[in-house]
Amino acid sequence: MAQQNRDYLYGKFQQGAKPSEQDFRDLIDSTLNFQDDQIKRKDQELKVAAPLRVTTNPDDTEETLLKFYAGEENTWSINQKSGEDKVGFNISDANGASRLFIESEDGNVGIGTTEPSAPLQVIATKEIDPSKNGLYIYNSNKEKDQHAILSVRVAGKEGGKPFISWDVEGESGWSMGIDNQDENKLKIAPNWADLTNSTLMTFDGQGRVGIGTTEPEAPLQVTATKTSDPNPANNGLCIYNPNKEKDQHAILGLRVAGKEGGNPFISWDVANESGWSMGIDNQDENKLKIAPNWANLTDHTLMTFGQGRVDINGNLTIGADLNIGGNIRQPNNKKLIEVKRIEGIKGAENHNTHYSDSEWICGIIGFQSGNGDINEGANDKIIQMHTFIKDGTWHIYADFVSHNHHEDWTIWLMAISKKVADFV
């Protein structure tokens, strides 16, 4: 079967020529045959049943295969090269710009580019509208469970990691995805090519979030930075409200659901050394407490604030002025210093004050005798008056050493709690 071009056939069938049988065969073989070539026309549509082979013009450097027209205006074209000597299947618009390119060598697909470096590479437009820029997944179906999903998946735990990358070329990048080598945790890292290099935030399967750690043990665990800057805002957790208007606060809120729940408190701890806690004991009238235990607010509580009162269970050291607007009392509701007037003490009598020597230090700050005459006689010590301890309590001894046996003393006694004073 010989195929000839039009000029050759024109010469064989021009006026006065005598075409041979072979010339007629060449003519037939150089045209399409609807029956042999499986081409059918029905309702103005051309149907090709057998494979159609299209060969490009050797003089066409872009090896154009098909061109599409709207009337006389060229709209689209299909060629085997991109015009840059890169072999592939290319679809161009009316201006010759590539819109879809499939690279022959590795099958990479480029949308807007003829040099795709990935299986699919899309060149973004200049549009700022996300729906018109790069890749847009839209589901117009408004029925239930008709989602719009962008899926990233790997074959198994032993494979690579499914993650998404963002990058500013020549500057820096970010990545976010699943680390299937670390219990399938979701991670965010400041590296567009590596999800596990310097991971900044981690979400585990129990809903715990780690910032600066990939092993969070609490719902939110923050690892402090190593900066030498003493500014707390540069270290761990900082809540900052830049609004300078009235009542625009910066609040760290700790709240529990009710009295039956746990206690809202803050903990401080030096690992393997000691810790402290401060917060509300909602089992004890919502008092604010401080305890030397980072895990238990009510274990050996040292200071309690409640209803305008402060209770201290331990020593209080004051290195500056202490201004107190209310009373200072002990846990048994007794004051730390008491002054008592005791009347009717007879001469040479051991009077029991009922102040325990284990809790109090007692002393006499004043006295007054009765109206009886004083007969000094030959005694050297006219007045004998002091406090002393007997059987665990403080006693008073008061006496005029005289011949007057009708003494009637009034004593002013000061009792000071040993919580604020020592007996030396």
Same domain, 359 and 411: yes
Report the amino acid identity of residue 164: I
69-73, 170-174, 244-248, 331-335: range with lowest mean pLDDT = 331-335
Q: Is the domain of 58 the same as that of 134?
A: yes
Dump pLDDT digits (tens) for 254-300: 999 988 889 999 999 998 998 999 999 999 999 999 999 999 999 89
Quick one: 402 and 369 in the same domain? yes
Q: Both 132 and 70 in a single domain?
A: yes
Burial class (CB within 10 angstroms; exposed 0-12, middle 13-18, buried 19+) of 394? buried
Least confident of 15-19, 32-36, 63-67, 247-251: 32-36
- Kindly state the average pLDDT of the residues 9-32: 83
More confident residue, 121 or 323: 121
* Boundary (domain end) residue, out of 12, 30, 53: 53
Conformational region of residue 189, where left means phi above 0, alpha means psi within -120 to 50, and beta covers everything else: beta
Same domain, 65 and 119: yes
| Domain assignment present for 218 | yes
Q: Calculate mean pLDDT across residues 357-374.
A: 78
| Residue 423, domain member (yes or no) | no
pLDDT at position 375:
52
pLDDT above 70 covers a percentage of the chain that reads: 92
If asked whether residues 4 and 47 sit together in one domain, one would say yes
For position 405, what pLDDT does the model report?
60
133 within domain boundaries: yes
> Quick one: 32 and 48 in the same domain?
yes
pLDDT of residue 373: 42
Give which of 165, 189, 170, 187 is closest to 178, Cα–Cα.
187
In a domain? residue 7: yes
Q: Is residue 325 part of a domain?
A: no
Residue-wise pLDDT for 175-213, tens only, equals 999 999 999 999 999 999 999 989 999 999 999 999 999
Place of tokens 């290319």: 90
Residue 19 lies in domain: 1-53
Give the strands of the sheet with 349-356, arranged side by side.
349-356, 393-400, 383-390
Q: Do 74 and 100 lie in a common domain?
A: yes
Any domain includes 255: no
Out of 234, 254, 282, pick the residue that ends a domain: 234
Domain assignment present for residue 350? The answer is yes
One domain for residues 365 and 391: yes
- Per the rule left: phi > 0, alpha: psi between -120 and 50, beta: everything else, 96 is left
User: What is the 3 state secondary structure string of the chain?
Assistant: CCCCCHHHHHHHCCCCCCCCHHHHHHHHHCCCCCCCCCEEEECCEEEECCCCCCCCCCCCCCCEEEEEEECCEEEEEEEEECCCCCEEEEEECCCCCEEEEEECCCCCEEECCCCCCCCEEECCCCCCCHHHCCCCCCCCCCCCCCCCCCCCCCCCCCCCCCEEEEEECCCEEEEEEEECCCCCEEEEECCCCCCCCCCCEEECCCCCEEECCCCCCCCEEECCCCCCCCCHHHCCCCCCCCCCCCCCCCCCCCCCCCCCCCCCEEEEEECCCEEEEEEEECCCCCEEEEECCCCCCCCCCCEEEECCEEEECCCCCCCCCCCCCCCCECCCCCECEEEEEEEEECCCEEEEEEEECCCEEEEEEEEECCCCCCCCCCCCCCEEEEEEEECCEEEEEEEECCCCCCCCEEEEEEEEECCCCCCC
Of 322 and 302, more confident: 302
Q: What is the pLDDT of residues 29-59, one digit of tens each?
A: 878 766 676 677 777 777 777 677 778 888 8
Taking 90 as the threshold, does the pLDDT of residue 221 lie above it? yes
The share of the chain scoring above pLDDT 90, in percent, equals 50
Mean pLDDT of 227-234: 77
pLDDT of amino acid 253: 93
pLDDT for position 21: 85
Same domain, residue pair 46 and 71: no
User: Does 120 share its domain with 71?
Assistant: yes
Domains held by the chain: number? 5
Residues 133 and 91 in one domain: yes
Q: What pLDDT sits at residue 348?
A: 65
Mean pLDDT in residue range 134-153: 94
- Whether residue 283 lies inside any domain: the answer is yes
pLDDT at 37: 67
pLDDT of residue 345: 80
| Residue that is last in its domain, among 194, 211, 234 | 234
pTM equals 0.64
